[in-house]
A and B are shown apart, each in its own frame.
Chain A
Amino acid sequence: MAIEDMAFLIPVLPALAFVLTFFLGKKLPNGGAIIPIIAIFTSFVISLMITLNLLQNPEQVVSQSYNWFAILNVGVLIDPLAAVMLSMVSFVSLLIHIYAVGYMSHDKAQPRYFAETALFTAAMLGVVLSDNILQFFICWELVGLCSYLLIGFWFEKPSAASAAKKAFLTTRVGDVMFLAGIILLFADIFRIFNGSIPEGVYVLRFDEIFTHIPEIAALNTQIFGFEVSHLTIITLLFFGGAVGKSGQFPLHVWLPDAMEGPTTVSALIHAATMVTAGVYLVARTFPMFLAAPYSLLVVAYLGAFTALFAATMGLVMNDIKRVLAFSTISQLGYMMLGLGMGAVIGVTAVGDSLFHLINHAFFKALLFLCAGSVIHAVGTQDIRQMGGVRKVMPITFATMLIASLALAGFGIPGTSIGVSGFFSKDPIIEAAYLFGESTENWVPYLFSIVAALLTSIYIFRLIFMTFTGKPRTNYGGHESPSVMTVPLMILGVLALVFGALTKTGFGKFLEETFANNFVNMDIHALAEIGKYHLASHGAGSEPLLILWMPVIVAIAGLLISYLIYGMRIIDMSSIVSRKNPIYKLLYNRYYQNAIFTQFLAVKVIYEGLALAGRAIDRGFDWTVYLIGHIFTEASDGLRLLQTGVVQNYATSVVTGVSLLIILVKLILEVF
């Protein structure tokens, strides 16, 4: 049995593990953690073998389709893009499951935890290897459900319950947009086929969709007097889904609150895998974005803005996990920016962005797991109460330092020396520079550079405040057990060297996805439809200063936070106070909560929409009741016809027959 034939097992095994753990978990040690670990390990092995196969001959894309019903199918599609995601997701999920054995060891609800994470892994793998947009959407929703369940894992805490609700509802906004996009896409393809779809054509398969890109792009609609291509509408709706799932502005509000869940959940779902599903969606449908005017620009601007916006808030958070949450939002913004740079560098953007995604998955999962390790030992999440943890937890400190370096992006341009984040963040920033060069629009570049500086500052603030100095409270921690530190070390090694090892091959590998197998038109033709002007020369030919700029700002950030938090040379008390309006603004997270809750939720949704809805509802109710009432009254009267007397029935029958004969006779006479 060839390995390709086992591809469907990748999501099925964790799904089986979910069922088994759910029912048998209580009877097994550690809440049955061994079942999902074995299942996910098998999935990982299969994914890795398929990936290695693909590396050797990228044309051998695994593509299997089965008829579901009518013109829809279920299927497996593993091209280079899906393959790297599959390997990453199953690998990170495997490590986090192992880590969770230690982390969740004191929790009574272990079986539920492992069952839900197994289901999550299954759904996420399902998202990645879907070969049609509908299956993608179904798994996408399933992933959202698991996210909801796991954020609310400690549902006895009111804050966790409400955070889960918030996450679910906020992502729902995006999901509805995504669904609307799918419906519009389906309608358009249906129209292109003139409503008669040939046998064996599955309309929502990705390759089928990509075949029809030019036709869809040619369809136009008037919106507010502007001629807008259908493809732009569809892609922007898809991007709306991605915004919800990947925590981009303005739907990012759920992600910091999602930290109410267990730290392992934050690491798995809200750092490494689920939040990147949005990025993956854009990458998956990249040819559509490339052929849609303005869509990529929207992606780029929103990504750049989110990167900066979230980084500023990360500066002032005191909760160790919230800092990381804002960091995640910021990095996701980078990935979106990277994809948006497809407007200039074409399909290379997918490689850049996915490279950052994979690296980010490693170092951000590592950061979260380290934070979890610290929280596990110290018992608090407030970094003001920590300090000096380095002496207690040397392994955790070392791995966290590696992850922070990776996040900040340290390395030497032009060589193979550097941590993973350096090799992936640099191309994105350089692409932003290219974008500025070719369009004279420097906003994305400026945003990304400032965000890089802030990233470096906030992550080293976290390191210095947590690990150096003297303990500010009596916490009496200890190093975590080896079941927790081993995954940390594995991830640490990957965060350190993965970027350097794969920096040349990765982008090329991913470009194969669209270059050969998928789109029957070349990238330049698509970009022409989308009216993007691809730069003639690739990245790497910028001035030396530009090449060094990300590293310079990273070092600058390190120095600034060392001066402030490490050496305490600069006194921050005057700045860090509630009186400083900027600090207050940042600390209150730009008052988004006030805006979203007080204004949007209470005023607009509740008092506006809901009350109006109630009035409309009343109207409908009244109409329905009226109709019902008419018929009740009428039948109440009519039932009196049933007298029960035989003679009345006889009379009616004879009258009816007579009248019928007359009627028939009349009709026959007339015609």
Chain B
Amino acid sequence: MLNKHFTIMQILTSVYKFFRPRIAGMIVAILFLAIVIISIGFTNWNTVDQIPQNPMDQSNIQGIGMLIFTEFVIPFEILSIVLLATLMGAIYMAKGDGTE
């Protein structure tokens, strides 16, 4: 049953049906993608020659933790407050006026 209806034509039709109303968005997205890819490709990125290879310890979690609690501790604290505020706001908005 299923195989019988699953012809190439139908696949194409359904793809067409999916994209037809979205043609404008698609064109814009592809345009944007092309621009970004071309830009990336033609840019000379300044990178280190070699990613530091340390088979013993691949993890850099320790380094990240050190950074968070030393150099970036203030953004961290601010972020915590933002998260708290967001949480309260989200709960308030999602809760409604309490009549239900």
Q: Which residues of A contact B (CB under 8 A)?
A: 647, 651, 654-655, 657-658, 661-662
Contact = CB atoms under 8 A, between A and B. Distances in A.
B25 A658 contact: no
Contacts of B29: 654
Given A654-B28, A658-B31, A658-B35, 5 more contacts: A651-B25, A651-B28, A657-B32, A661-B35, A661-B39
Contacts of A651: 24-25, 28
A658 B35 CA distance: 7
B32 A654 contact: yes
Contact of A662 (B24, B25, B28, B35): B35
Contacts of A657: 32
A654 B29 CA distance: 8
Interface residues of B, number: 8
A467 B39 CA distance: 111
A657 B36 CA distance: 11
A659 to B, nearest CB: 9
B35 A655 contact: no
Interface string B1-41: 00000000000000000000000110011011001000100
A643 to B, nearest CB: 13
Contacts of A661: 35, 39
Most buried by B among A647, A657, A658: A658
Contacts of B31: 655, 658
A94 B50 CA distance: 107
Nearest to B39: A661
17 contacts: A647-B25, A651-B24, A651-B25, A651-B28, A654-B28, A654-B29, A654-B32, A655-B28, A655-B31, A657-B32, A658-B28, A658-B31, A658-B32, A658-B35, A661-B35, A661-B39, A662-B35
Contacts of B24: 651
Contacts of B35: 658, 661-662
Interface in B21-76: 24-25, 28-29, 31-32, 35, 39
A662 B35 CA distance: 8
A654 B35 CA distance: 11
What 4 A-B pairs have minimum CB-CB distances, sorted nearest first? A658-B31, A658-B32, A655-B28, A654-B28
A440 to B, nearest CB: 96
A658 B24 CA distance: 14
Contacts of A662: 35
A660 to B, nearest CB: 10
Nearest to A661: B35
B43 to A, nearest CB: 12
A647 B25 CA distance: 9
Nearest to A648: B24
